[in-house]
Structure formats: C-alpha cells, structure tokens
Amino acid sequence: MRLEPIANPGILRRLGPPALAIAGSFLVASLLALIAGGNPFAVFGAILKGAAGSKFALLETLNRATPLIFTGLAVAVAFRARLWNIGAEAQLYAGAVVTVMLGTGALHWPSLPLLVVIGVTAMLAGALLLLIPALLKTRFGVDEVVTTLLFNFIFLLFVSYLLEGPLKDPMGMGWPKSARLIPEARLPRIIDGLRLHWGFVLALVSALVLWVINTRTTLGFEMRAVGQNAEAARFAGIPVTRVILKTALLSGGLAALAGFSEVAGLKGSLTLDLSPGYGYTGIVVAMLALLHPLGVVVAALFVAAIFVGADAMSRALGVPSYLADIMLASALLMMVLAILLSKFRVVRD
C-alpha cells in the first residue's frame, strides 16, 4: 500500500478534514463518556447547553473565544509562512505585562488614546519577543520550534519574578498579583450589563484585517510564497529573510493582543494563571481552521464552546471536564490525518 497525491481535490475533499476531525473527536469523546459512566447524548447535550444554552453561557463562550482568536491568528499567520511559532503563550504574557505596566497609573490619559497606546505597545512587545527567535532562525539557522517553545518557560518565569517584585500589587496581601488597571485602561463592555468586552470585536476585526492582508497585499503573497517554497521565492526575488521577520512581527503582535484583551477586558490585573495555555490551544485552533483567518474565528468559537460547555457538563453530570482536552487533542490528531487523506489517496500495489 502507498499514498498517491490527488491531482485536484474537490470541494468535498477540502471541507472534509475539519468535518471529519470534529466528528472523530466526538466519537472518541463518546467512548470516554461511556467509560466514565455518562450517556454520550446527555454529555453532549449538557456541553451544548453549557456553552450556548443561555445568554450567560453564550457570552462566556464568546469571552473564552476572544484570546483564542488572537492566538489562533498569531499561529495561523506564522505557520502559513512556515515560521513555527510555538511561543504564542509567551507573547500573550508580553502583551499582558505591557498592559499592566502602562495601565495601572503610569499614564493618566483619556480612555481611548490610552487604550490605543497600550494596545500598540503590547503588540510591539509581543512582536519583539518573536523577533529574537526569528533572527536566530534567519541568521544562524536555529530551529524556531525549540527557541519559541523554550521562550514560553523563560518568559513565564520572568512574569513570575515581576509579580513577586516590581509589578507586585502593594495592596495585594502578599499574593503574586499586579495592581488593578485604572478604569480608563479597561476595555469597556460592548453593551452595558452584558459581560462581553470590546476585545471580542477587536479579535473579529483582526481576523478580517489578516484575511485582507493575506489575500490582497504583497506581504500576504510573499508570506505564502515563502511558506510554500522558499527556494523558488528567493529565486524570484522575494526577500525571504525580510518576509520571515515581518511575519514574526505580525504573529507576535497578534498573540500579544490576546494578553492585552484578557487583562484590559476581563481580568483587570495580571496573575500567573492569566492564560490556561491559550498560546498552545491557538495551535489547535489554527490547524482546525486550516490557517484561514476567518476559519480561526469559527474554530476558536468551537474550541471555546467545548471548554465552557465541558465545565458546565462536569458540574451537572459528574463526568470529568478533562473530556474537553481529550476532544481537542483527538480533533487535532484526526485533523492531521484527515488533511493527509484529503491530499492523498491510498493505493494498493
């Protein structure tokens, strides 16, 4: 048996992988739910209800999706250019640190300019954080998978130091926690009384902007060319190194916006548990979206719904909420397999 490439995959084959991956993850989850003593239908019903069954649940899902859209976009833009950014987690925290540094009283400006300055500076911080591994890659050929991954640990330890030292809240009763943002530095809610902040809108706009960049600009074309075939791109005169560095800036900036939006929109201060691995989950989101910016929005909503729903389901049925992690993991594995099968067919010799 061997794999043979398919010349021209039809629309069914192209939409197949995400559908198959999601179906597969449900299948695996059903089996595990049975083992855990729950009825799969009841479990999925409870997840759905928990994720979208009420206004509160729905808003919670949208809130949870917001950082995932940012990190998903960060990963998608990098992976499209074959820049393997595994460090969205660190870049997220870089954005959060900047938000806290500027938003807890260092600048006393009106809300809008303050938020713009904080957002842009946060993006710069995340961008610079990814620029280091990108430079190591283009200059010395250092594998960015390793460097970006290790940066996550280094940067989290750095944040831990900041929260125990310079950024520690004097009123925090000794907890490793930053001071709270001043009200002007908070992202307001979209509608009064509803727990959903403008970060969500910013995420949607970012997805749209990235989509436009990808399809309409020279940079988008260059990023894709470098990702598909760097040798041909270089031969054709595309400045490969510069494109990789620009991609890094864009990707790091987007991941940092996740930290900005979480701190300024939701939490109001920085703690070490700001992100339960949004940077890593962003990889799953980007892969499920086949690296398409608008797909990232859909995938992030799906992933957020599973997480939020699984918590509710766990409270209601007593089936562990780890099920959500397993569903995501299996969805990713199935996705990889399904992508392979959508491009190749199995031939018997």
Partner 1 sequence: MTERDQAQHPVLRLSNITKRFGALCANDDVSFSLAKGEVIALLGENGAGKTTLMNILFGQYSADAGEVEVFGQRLAPGNPRAALDAGVGMVHQHFTLAGNLTVWENIVLGTQALTAPRLRARAAKARIADLSKRFHLAVNPDAKVGQLSVGERQRVEILKALYRDARILILDEPTAVLTPQESEALFATLREAIGLGLSVVFISHKLHEVMAISHRVLVLRHGRLVAERATADTSREELAALMVGGAVSAPKIAPMPPGPALMRLNDVSSKGEGHAPGLQSVSLSLHGGQITGLAGVSGNGQGALSDLISGLAMPSAGQLEIAGEAITNWSPRRALARGIGRIPEDRHHTGTIADFDLTENAVLETYASDFARHGWLDWAAARAHAEALIATYDVRCPGPDTAIRLLSGGNMQKLILGRVLETKPRIILANQPVRGLDIGALNYVHSRLAEAREQGAAVLLISEDLDEIIALSDVIHVISQGRLSPPFARGTMAPEALGRWMAGDGFAEVAHAS
Residue 321 burial by Cβ neighbours in a 10 Å radius (0-12, 13-18, 19+) = middle
Q: Binding to partner 1 by residue 232, rule CB under 8 A?
A: yes
Q: How far apart are CA 313 and CA 309, in angstroms?
A: 6
- E-state strands within 287-330: none
Smallest separation, CB 42 to partner 1 (Å): 44
Nearest to 72 by CA among 295, 259, 245, 274: 295
Count of C-beta atoms within a 10 Å radius of residue 4: 9
Q: How far apart are CA 17 and CA 214, in angstroms?
A: 22
Smallest separation, CB 349 to partner 1 (Å): 8
Q: Any long-range contacts for 301-305 (C-beta under 8 Å, 24+ apart)?
A: 301/61, 301/62, 301/65, 302/22, 303/65, 303/68, 303/328, 304/51, 304/61, 304/62, 304/64, 304/65, 304/68, 305/47, 305/48, 305/51, 305/52, 305/61, 305/65
Smallest separation, CB 155 to partner 1 (Å): 32
* Residue 160 vs 229, nearer CB to partner 1: 229
Residue 175 burial by Cβ neighbours in a 10 Å radius (0-12, 13-18, 19+) = exposed
Give the residue, chosen from 165, 237, 273, 347, that forms a contact with partner 1 under the rule CB under 8 A.
Answer: 237
Stretch that binds partner 1, among 113-121, 138-146, 189-197, 231-239 (CB under 8 A): 231-239
3-state secondary structure (DSSP) of residue 271: strand
Smallest separation, CB 221 to partner 1 (Å): 6
Which two structure tokens, joined as six digits, stand for 320? 């562990």
Q: Binding to partner 1 by residue 218, rule CB under 8 A?
A: yes
Give the residue, chosen from 26, 109, 158, 221, that forms a contact with partner 1 under the rule CB under 8 A.
Answer: 221
Q: Binding to partner 1 by residue 236, rule CB under 8 A?
A: yes
Residue type, 159: V
Distances (CA, A) of 38 to 17, 297, 316, 342: 28, 31, 11, 34
Q: Binding to partner 1 by residue 324, rule CB under 8 A?
A: no
* Residue 54 vs 229, nearer CB to partner 1: 229
- Report whether 254 contacts 206 (CB < 8 A): yes
Smallest separation, CB 88 to partner 1 (Å): 26
Give the residue, chosen from 112, 160, 229, 294, that forms a contact with partner 1 under the rule CB under 8 A.
Answer: 229
Stretch that binds partner 1, among 74-82, 127-135, 235-243, 266-274 (CB under 8 A): 235-243
Q: Binding to partner 1 by residue 228, rule CB under 8 A?
A: yes
Restricted to residues 178-217, the positions that interact with partner 1 (CB under 8 A) are 216-217
Stretch that binds partner 1, among 104-112, 151-159, 163-171, 236-244 (CB under 8 A): 236-244
* Residue 54 vs 218, nearer CB to partner 1: 218
Q: How far apart are CA 207 and CA 123, in angstroms?
A: 15
Give the residue, chosen from 77, 233, 289, 290, that forms a contact with partner 1 under the rule CB under 8 A.
Answer: 233
Smallest separation, CB 348 to partner 1 (Å): 14
Binding flags for partner 1, 1-40, as an x/- string (CB under 8 A)? ------xx--------------------------------
Give the residue, chosen from 21, 62, 65, 225, that forms a contact with partner 1 under the rule CB under 8 A.
Answer: 225
**Interface ranges with partner 1 (CB under 8 A):** 7-8, 216-221, 224-225, 228-229, 231-239
